[in-house]
Amino acid sequence: MNIIRNIFSKKITINNESNLIIVNIKESCSLQEYTSILRRTKYSNLLNIIDLKHLLTNNNILPKRIIVYKKDNIIYIISITNNNIYISKKTTDTNIIEHTINIDKLNYSYQISQLIHTLDDNTVDVKTHNKTPKKNYSFMYLPKNEALNIARTLTEEISTIPNISNYISIPEIIKILNIYLNKDYYPVISNEILTLSWQNRYGNTDINEKTRATLEIILNETNEVIGTISFNTLYNPNNSYTGSVSYNIKDEFQNNHYATIALSLLKKLLKEHQHQQNKPIYISTEEHNIKSQHVAINNGGELCYEGTIPGYDNLTKFSGITKIKMYKIPL
């Protein structure tokens, strides 16, 4: 019996750290092996807590780490492999409400679900949203804004679990989900479509006191972070070709005029900015980046330089860009 136990211990270890139960599955094993191991430990109750969806891949249990954290009537379970993070939260009351996020790091995708179970663990309702569109039956479809609200709340809660950052990267999860945490949300200007939120504020309270900053571009309909826009009020066009404003829209949100709208909002913000005052802004685009050039032109930009830039300029040194079109935009 001791020999069997030692062999199994090479496959699975279980630790308790700051109320986190950590199950390390070091080698592939069968469900029967896994069950047999846990039954021999003081953690046998995990057999009733950790669902098969956290364990099985094609009827096998592959190497992974599973984290279990319980707080009052809520159980959080996080299973982690090299390519996936699967997070679930079960809240028990008159029934069991389960929220899940399944993150595919390899394909930069996710699935968010809401399930309702009876107290004897029969599933009575399932609704799901996939980042990558699949065939969705209307009775199983979870609207995107509802799904992302679930994901944001769950990520907020997970981020407060003691020592959780030792096992998962919250910034990575946020990036794949295109969401923000409430503590990082500081809107400075918005319209009916977009909001610009001050990124990396670090205790500052007045953006008008900052000579440069990066703002997240947030789509109001779903509260997704769709890109960034930055400004530098100290920029001198006589010394550099980088421009005073730059922007980036994530690939999946392009071709919706979001950069044009974001730049329009930034112009309004800078018009009242104590360091910008009435100075024009400058946008530098790659020679053949027609889309970015249209963003500048649609915001009143006029071509002020076209050609090769010197090799010592930061734009060349850090981006490898050698030919640009620069636009001057009055405020």
Please give the Cα distance from 320 to 283 (Å, whole number): 17
For 192-329, CATH gives 3.40.630.30
Confidence of residue 135 (pLDDT cuts 50, 70, 90): low
Contact 65, 24 (CB under 8 A): yes
Q: State whether residue 7 is helix, strand or coil.
A: helix
State the amino acid at position 177 in one-letter form: L
Mean per-residue pLDDT for 67-90?
95
Strands (E), the chain: 12-17, 20-25, 56-57, 60-61, 64-71, 74-80, 84-92, 96-104, 109-117, 123-130, 187-190, 194-198, 212-219, 224-232, 245-249, 281-286, 302-308, 323-329
Mean per-residue pLDDT for 166-180?
95
Mean per-residue pLDDT for 125-131?
93
- Closest to 201 in 3D by CA, of 189, 193, 212: 212
Residue 22 predicted with pLDDT over 70:
yes
- Closest to 186 in 3D by CA, of 203, 174, 170: 203
Instruction: Express each pLDDT in 3-16 by its tens digit.
Output: 333 334 678 988 88
> What is the rounded average pLDDT for all residues in the chain?
90
Six-digit token string for 237: 């066009």
Q: What is the pLDDT of residue 11?
A: 86
Reported pTM: 0.87
Q: What is the pLDDT of residue 6?
A: 38
Instruction: Express each pLDDT in 252-302 by its tens digit.
Output: 999 999 999 999 999 999 988 888 778 999 999 999 999 999 999 999 999
What does the domain layout of the chain look like in residue ranges? Answer: 2-177, 192-329
Please give the Cα distance from 17 to 329 (Å, whole number): 56
